[in-house]
Structure 1
Amino acid sequence: MERPRQGFWGLWNISFGFFGIQIGFALQNANMSRIFQSLGTSIDDLPALWIAAPLTGLLVQPVIGHLSDRTWFGRFGRRRPYFLAGAILAALSLFAMPLAPALLFAAVMLWVLDASLNISMEPFRAFVGDMLRKDQHSAGYAVQTAFIGAGAVVGSIFPWALEQLGVSNAAPGGGIPDTVRYAFWFGGAALFFAVLWTILTTREYSPEQMAAFDGARAEAADAGARALAERGNISGFAWLAAGGAVIVAVGQLGLEKEVYLLGGLLAAYGIASLIAIRLARSGRGANMLASIVGDFAGMPPIMKRLALVQFFSWSALFIMWINTTPVVAGAFYGAPDAADSRYQEGANWVGVLFTVYNGVAAIAALTLLPLLAARFGKARTHIFGLLCGAAGFASFFVIRDPHWLIVSEIGIGIAWASILAMPYAILASNLPQAKLGIFMGLFNVFVVVPQLLVATVMGSIMQAFFPGEPIWTMAFAAGTLGLAALAMTRVKEG
């Protein structure tokens, strides 16, 4: 039995909520460094404050994926209730963020905002796989990517557009400019109503229908836990030892204090593994911890290969989100200080640049990438996209006029479209449907871990080798996308 084929409006409704979610992410990505610096933090402290975003994703997405695979809320479905809960919390966070009276409040609200966005976002990845036939996966993720690009365009351009309409972009007292304040309020409303559109215009297939659709692709929910019960404790102790070694190295080598978090996470996973193995051996494999650890340890081979690609890809993206504003303001506008009016001018231009790469991504997802994928395959198309992004980051070193950075963003936009579409289309066609939510959530670990690594280690590297020269972060971004393209040559499509 096969799923019904979705037409244009079916594809539209399934992914329209992502348009609103990405408005929230775009406002966060383009403006949080600006908000933090406007409230008094230094550029060297930005990575530590940005840790909130990837850390919440690391914790939230596997849990939500696990829960949404295993729960059914009757007529409300299994994914849509999570869409709604996350949208409500994210909208409230976007309304509260611009009211931040101090740096601490802004940092806490970033944690809440990112957790809320992840609650809504994670089930959307699995939702496309739930609702579409296998031969429509590429189209479904392409449409989703187009909405991501369109939402990011709206979120990125809004502060700049408000300034053109006469809204004040100045923050002489060290607060948050009105352009950013109004943009966040608009974004909160847009996010909520976009997600509500998907909730009201779609109807999920029942568990019985899903079982009939998937047949051989269905997999027992406790398979990962059973495999975990047969594993030894050596790997758990190895993770624990690795975490301890990192923590010791921070003190011995004088690394930035944020690296403690990386060591703590490695040790925490080691402890979680040991507990999960014990639970599985005692017959309590259905426990959420045992299920998540078991599925992580038992990832399909194609997912492991794509995980390495994601690790390098998202390292570059997180470098870009943290550093583009200080790079452009300092290297192209000559204003590293947030109190300088030229800094705010440069920050607004970054909003335009982010608009360009997201707009390019939306167009490429619906035009260029499907054509290339049909002719050369999804894997080779992704290699092409990653190399375009590497060239875009490298061009920051040859361009002198900030307006020409738009050319750089074209390459970055093609890479962004490919990163958001190709790996997920490959995965959705090769993963067991019964575990699509948890595997998509675990795949996000390889989106999050590189971001944590950048947030904890990049500051130490820059302080040691390039103090006061953030533009060199663009060289790291170009290099990691090159490594991602190289890793992608090992991925063979199913």
Structure 2
Amino acid sequence: MKQPKLSFWQIWNLSFGFLGVQIGFALQNGNVSRILSDLGADLSSLSLFWLAAPIMGLLVQPIVGAASDRTWNRLGRRLPFMLGGAVVAATAMVLLPNSSMMVAFIPPMLFGLVIFAIKDAAFNVTFQPFRSLVSDMVPPEQRNLGYSVQTLLINIGAVFGSILPFVLTNVVGLDNASKAGEVAPSVIWAFYIGATVLLGSVLWTVFRTREYAPEQYFAYKGLDAKAHELAVQTQKSRSLGEKLTDFWQTMLGMPSIMKQLALVQFFSWFALFIMWTYFPAAIAQNTWGVGTEWYDAAYIAQMGGIPAHIAAAKGAAGDWVGILYAGYSLFAVLFSLVMAKLANVFGRKFVYSMALLAGGAGYLSFALFTDPSMTHVDLFITQVDIPQGALGLMFPMVGVGIAWAAILAMPYAILAGALPANKTGVYMGIFNFTIAAPQIVSGLIAGWILGSVFENQAVYIVMLAGAAMVLGALSVWLVKEQDTQAQV
């Protein structure tokens, strides 16, 4: 039985929750280093704190993927996980920037780290089933469109989430400078707004999308429903040891294309982790001229705190990080509008490789923008005075945005057609290892490299990320595409 095509708005609705999830991710990526620094973390330890994110993804996504493969209830197959994860994630987003309020019960840094881990785990519970939902619901000939719409919504959310702290400071008038051991009011309110939109957009997908009933799904995928039900019941009756053995065998039996894409993913996500961890410090140091000593907790304590002008510079740089992140997300949105057509004309591998090369060039050019002379900028919603170098950093964001759009869509478009339909969820979850593992490696070594090799000059760790992205572009050509689901 041929799977029916979906209308554009059906594809839009089933992906709409990505908008809110990505707003949450954008707020996390742009502000968690800032929050942890405000709560007392020093620069070289930031990458270790950030390990909570990939570790949660590594643990949660395969479990959720496998569980959603075996789930069918009144809400559907993937939707129950999206809804539950969104409720927890929104709650954690409200709590994280208020960690200092818990100082009477638990050190704010520890509380912030725990909430960060819970929030990221909840993001993964929500995020992973969306990938499988597109594979479930979208027929092969619309798969490029499906993942491109997903990428479009992801980046619209990223733009909104990235600029929120800047808008709340420069348009609404909230303070962007933090006091000792506390988080800036603009960041706190940005997280409140993000939590609200996250929950609302996921609810939209849950109530506007109707997943296929089991008999329809198996017919569309050419599977035997009775055999699947027997396999599910057999799985439920197995012991934990047997389930772990079965999972390990599933991993060993993964399609070879997953292993080939893993190398590309390693270089790509190694670079992205560095960007999210160290962009705020790199921009404050390289463009605003903040000395590396103001990222040393011992030095700050010795000096009796951070002077007002340094706090203001770090706050302004932190806000501008959001604008730059919004910039690369906007460029990703624009590229995602043509990415599917380019992939159909030139091939996925060519588009994927050239996009990563553009990202690598963007990172490598980061060190060029150091001009401290102030310039007046009209951003339509407000006007600001910033260093000329900060404005120039928007040019590297073009390449970063093109790479980001491709990273979000191309691996999944290449992979989806090569996965067995009855194990799409678990394999998509396993594929998340290729996202989490490079971030864990980056988290373990990036801080040491920054402190021991680059003497806490964060711009050089960003350039290292550029070299990694270029290697990712080259490794795309080692991937051999295949399709077991008759993808067009």
Map of 1:24 onto structure 2:
24
Map of 1:237 onto structure 2:
none
The match for 1:348 among 316, 319, 322 is: 319
Alignment of 1:295-444 (within 5 A): 295-335=250-290, 336=292, 337=294, 339=306, 340=310, 341-367=312-338, 369-400=339-370, 401-444=389-432
Matched, 1:112 2:118: yes
1:464, CA displacement in angstroms?
A: 2.5
Matched, 1:454 2:454: no
Moved more, 129-138 or 93-102: 93-102
1:180, CA displacement in angstroms?
A: 0.2
Moved over 3 A (4+): 216-222, 282-288
Map of 2:141 onto structure 1:
135
Alignment of 1:197-236 (within 5 A): 197-215=204-222
Give distance in 1, aligned partners of 2:434 and 2:224. 24
Matched, 1:91 2:90: yes
Give distance in 2, aligned partners of 1:286 and 1:36. 39
Give distance in 1, aligned partners of 2:206 and 2:96. 26
1:483, CA displacement in angstroms?
A: 1.2
Equivalent position amino acid for 1:418 in 2: A
Give distance in 2, aligned partners of 1:44 and 1:207. 50
Contact 1:320 1:474 in 2 (8 A): yes
Give distance in 2, aligned partners of 1:19 and 1:295. 32
Equivalent position amino acid for 1:180 in 2: V
Equivalent position amino acid for 1:86 in 2: G
Contact 2:44 2:448 in 1 (8 A): no
Map of 1:292 onto structure 2:
247
Matched, 1:51 2:57: no
Aligned CA distance change for structure 1 residues 29 and 220 (closer, same or farther; 3 Å): farther
Give distance in 2, aligned partners of 1:479 and 1:220. 48
1:284, CA displacement in angstroms?
A: 5.9
Aligned CA distance change for structure 1 residues 214 and 168 (closer, same or farther; 3 Å): same
Map of 1:236 onto structure 2:
none
Aligned CA distance change for structure 1 residues 41 and 140 (closer, same or farther; 3 Å): same
The match for 1:479 among 463, 467, 472 is: 467
Equivalent position amino acid for 1:360 in 2: F
1:219, CA displacement in angstroms?
A: 12
Aligned CA distance change for structure 1 residues 220 and 453 (closer, same or farther; 3 Å): farther
Deviations 1:209-230 (A, max 9, x none): 11111117999779x99xxxxx
3-state SS of 2:478 partner = coil
Equivalent position amino acid for 1:100 in 2: S
Give distance in 2, aligned partners of 1:221 and 1:316. 40
Equivalent position amino acid for 2:44 in 1: D
Contact 2:287 2:369 in 1 (8 A): no
Aligned CA distance change for structure 1 residues 29 and 217 (closer, same or farther; 3 Å): farther
Contact 2:159 2:327 in 1 (8 A): yes
Contact 1:356 1:406 in 2 (8 A): yes
Give distance in 1, aligned partners of 2:366 and 2:224. 46
Unaligned runs of 5+ in 1: 226-279
Give distance in 2, aligned partners of 1:174 and 1:56. 26
Give distance in 2, aligned partners of 1:183 and 1:493. 42
Contact 2:454 2:461 in 1 (8 A): no
Contact 2:47 2:277 in 1 (8 A): yes
Give distance in 2, aligned partners of 1:285 and 1:460. 38
Equivalent position amino acid for 1:370 in 2: A
Matched, 1:122 2:128: yes
Tell me the TM-score normalized by structure 1: 0.85
Unaligned runs of 5+ in 2: 101-107, 296-305, 371-388, 483-488
Aligned CA distance change for structure 1 residues 427 and 221 (closer, same or farther; 3 Å): farther
1:3, CA displacement in angstroms?
A: 1.6
Equivalent position amino acid for 1:383 in 2: S
The number of residues matched between the two structures is 437
Moved more, 402-411 or 330-339: 330-339
1:171, CA displacement in angstroms?
A: 1.6
Matched, 1:463 2:462: no
Give distance in 2, aligned partners of 1:308 and 1:58. 17
3-state SS of 2:61 partner = helix
1:471, CA displacement in angstroms?
A: 1.0
Deviations 1:307-345 (A, max 9, x none): 111111101100100010000011111124364210111
The match for 1:155 among 154, 161, 178 is: 161
Map of 1:249 onto structure 2:
none
Give distance in 1, aligned partners of 2:263 and 2:215. 35
Map of 2:11 onto structure 1:
11
Matched, 1:172 2:171: no
Equivalent position amino acid for 1:98 in 2: P
1:493, CA displacement in angstroms?
A: 2.5
Map of 1:145 onto structure 2:
151
Give distance in 2, aligned partners of 1:178 and 1:123. 33
Contact 1:156 1:352 in 2 (8 A): yes
Give distance in 2, aligned partners of 1:72 and 1:287. 23
Moved more, 12-21 or 162-171: 162-171
Contact 1:17 1:196 in 2 (8 A): yes
Give distance in 2, aligned partners of 1:317 and 1:172. 29
